[in-house]
Amino acid sequence: TTTLRLILGDQLNPLHSWFSEARADVVYVLMEVRQETDYVHHHAQKIIAIFAAMRALARQLEGEGHRVHYLRIDDPANLQAIPANIDALLAHYGATRFEYQEPDEYRLDLQLADYAARLPVPGTMVGSEHFLTARDEAERIFAGRAQWLMEYFYRQMRLVHGVLVEKGGKPAGGQWNFDHDNRKPWRGAPPEPFDARVQHDHSALWDSIEATGVDSFGRPDAARIVWPQDRAEALVHLDAFIQHGLPHFGDYQDAMHTSAPRLFHSMLSFALNTKMLHPREVIAEAEDAWRAGHAPLHAVEGFIRQILGWREYVRGVYWANMPGYGEHNVFGHTTPLPSWFWDGKTKMRCMRHAIGQSLDDAHAHHIQRLMIIGNFSLLAGLEPNQVHQWYLGVYVDAFEWVEMPNTIGMSQFADGGLLATKPYVSSAAYIDRMSDYCKGCHYDKKARLGETACPFNALYWDFFERNAQRLSGNQRLGMVYRNLFKMDDAARAACGEQAAALRARLGEL
């Protein structure tokens, strides 16, 4: 009897217990399918990087003596959908069992559960052995509480997993959170960390993807793909980050700069989300670096919070609110994305850089995603679900369980505050403080009104004006509303008119 075990494109963990012994009665199946390339409009590099890493895992498993059936995108036997391919392979191998790992996306979870339920042979789901929390753990932690709060969840995780805690459950350094130390702008020094990533030429793979008619956007850059292909490469990159990037991660976590697309971010999200790396080992390496005196606590705590806190937390938000989370739209925003989301051609220098970088590299760092692109989208009133589709397509690390809560919840506040405690928006003043974008911009960062006034300014005040009923009672926005209510009526009305005019010609900005 033969068992078929399905490995999805974001389940590339060679240390999964499935692989602890090579068995003649198990066939591992990996497939490149149109079902997965086409569920959203994807950046070319995302498709290339995932397929390349799937191929690398298949080679590794075969090398270790496992039986592997790999369906390439251009294989004539490929039926381009997961259930149809599994049906065909079950028949081909006369298999009597089907197994798959817990999918992280609701869409696939539903599809595979339905499929397994109607199979004539047993179909079983096993754990992916990746996350530190179960799908419903956050929901259990917050049961009976009025408000979900990342910080509360994160402290629980620190204690449960014994991360950065001292005897008696005290936080290392006497504080749980050092965010206040992590807000420096970057002015050209220190230099960006050494980039240990290997470049791969995946031109042949890209040609075969294109030949099958897969539609994509963004710069393919197929001859120089830098996203890790396997765990070994990911580990080298992790070490290089701990060595060269982590010590400065905290200071410049919120900084942005036109000449430093990466700054001190780890660029580990692709390796983490495809499960080449386990969050536990990334967290442990960071904590060790602090204990060895190599990186300061505020940097290490800030970095660990992203992985042990935010990453696990948003996953909990996702599972607690699916299906339907992507449909939230509390502000009733309906404006479609301007065309320059697809080519970066806007006169707003901050948006040109953040979107341009996303289109070139399939990556932008957190503050660009949150405080430039997301900020503008919310202020301009873009439809949250369209914004979500763009983010899901453009970033190499975008998988719905992590992308959707970040976009719909954290960035667009479309869920009315299920995930975040306030909308993350700003006028030009914040962007100017944290970046060099405003210098040399077509728009005037100081002006609120007129042809060349920075669009963020009027849109910002108008956003709070329009939503005063919903937001003015929010304690975290007290200062914003005090400032708005200090402005005279004529200035407030002029802001509203300017914002309406801007919203009417977003495509020309």
- What's the min distance (Å) between Cβ of 182 and ligand FAD? 11
Enumerate residues 6+ apart whose C-beta is below 8 A from 40: 389, 392, 393
- What's the min distance (Å) between Cβ of 342 and ligand FAD? 17
Total residues at the site for ligand FAD (CB under 6 A)?
27
| Residue 431 within binding range of ligand SF4, rule CB under 6 A | yes
> Distance between CA atoms of 453 and 457, rounded to whole angstroms?
8
When the beta carbons of 138 and 431 are compared against ligand SF4, the nearer one is 431
Judged by CB under 6 A, the stretch of 62-70, 153-161, 202-210, 430-438 that binds ligand SF4 is 430-438
Among 3, 229, 273, 426, the residue binding ligand FAD under the rule CB under 6 A is 273
Q: Coil, strand, or helix at residue 307?
A: helix
Among 274, 306, 385, 498, the residue binding ligand FAD under the rule CB under 6 A is 306
| Residue 454 within binding range of ligand SF4, rule CB under 6 A | yes
When the beta carbons of 251 and 403 are compared against ligand FAD, the nearer one is 403
Q: Coil, strand, or helix at residue 360?
A: helix
If we measure between CA atoms, which residue out of 285, 200, 291, 274 comes closest to residue 242? 285
Q: Tell me the two tokens of residue 325.
A: 């989370």
When the beta carbons of 279 and 423 are compared against ligand SF4, the nearer one is 423
| Residue 443 within binding range of ligand SF4, rule CB under 6 A | yes
When the beta carbons of 353 and 369 are compared against ligand FAD, the nearer one is 369
Contact of 236 with 64, CB cutoff 8 Å: no
| Residue 499 within binding range of ligand SF4, rule CB under 6 A | no
For Cα atoms 222, 225, 229, give the angle at the middle one, nearest 5 degrees: 125
When the beta carbons of 123 and 228 are compared against ligand FAD, the nearer one is 228
Contact of 56 with 230, CB cutoff 8 Å: yes
Judged by CB under 6 A, the stretch of 6-14, 217-225, 232-240, 448-456 that binds ligand SF4 is 448-456
- What's the min distance (Å) between Cβ of 172 and ligand SF4? 37
SS (HEC) of 53-100: HHHHHHHHHHHCCCEEEEECCCCCCCCCCHHHHHHHHHHHHCCCEEEE
- What's the min distance (Å) between Cβ of 425 and ligand SF4? 12
- What's the min distance (Å) between Cβ of 441 and ligand SF4? 3
- Cα-based torsion angle of the residue sequence 460, 465, 469, 472 in order, rounded to the nearest 10 degrees: 60
Instruction: DSSP for 201-232, please give it.
Output: --HHHHHHHHHTT--EES---GGGB-S--SHH
| Residue 456 within binding range of ligand SF4, rule CB under 6 A | yes
From the list ligand SF4, ligand FAD, none, partner contacted by residue 317 (C-beta under 5 to 8 A by kind): none
**How many CA atoms are closer than 13 Å to the CA of 314, on its beta-carbon side?**
21
Range list of H helices, 6-43: 34-37
When the beta carbons of 348 and 471 are compared against ligand SF4, the nearer one is 348
Instruction: DSSP for 454-506, please give it.
Output: -HHHHHHHHHHHHTHHHHTT-GGGHHHHHHHHHS-HHHHHHHHHHHHHHHHTG
Contact of 346 with 352, CB cutoff 8 Å: yes
| Residue 310 within binding range of ligand SF4, rule CB under 6 A | no
> Distance between CA atoms of 431 and 236, rounded to whole angstroms?
34
Contact of 421 with 149, CB cutoff 8 Å: yes
| Residue 418 within binding range of ligand FAD, rule CB under 6 A | no
Q: Which string of x and - marks every residue 350-389 that binds ligand FAD (by CB under 6 A)?
A: ---------------xx--xx---x---------------
Residue located via tokens 């007129």: 450
| Residue 4 within binding range of ligand FAD, rule CB under 6 A | no
Sign of CA dihedral 493, 497, 503, 508: negative
From the list ligand SF4, ligand FAD, none, partner contacted by residue 456 (C-beta under 5 to 8 A by kind): ligand SF4
Judged by CB under 6 A, the stretch of 91-99, 377-385, 429-437, 470-478 that binds ligand SF4 is 429-437
Positions 442 through 501 that interact with ligand FAD (CB under 6 A): none
When the beta carbons of 51 and 376 are compared against ligand FAD, the nearer one is 376
Contacting positions for ligand SF4 (CB under 6 A): 348-350, 428, 431-432, 437-438, 441, 443, 445, 454-456
Contacts with ligand FAD, residue ranges (CB under 6 A): 265-269, 272-273, 306-307, 310-311, 314, 365-366, 369-370, 374, 391, 395, 397-398, 402-403, 406-407, 410-411
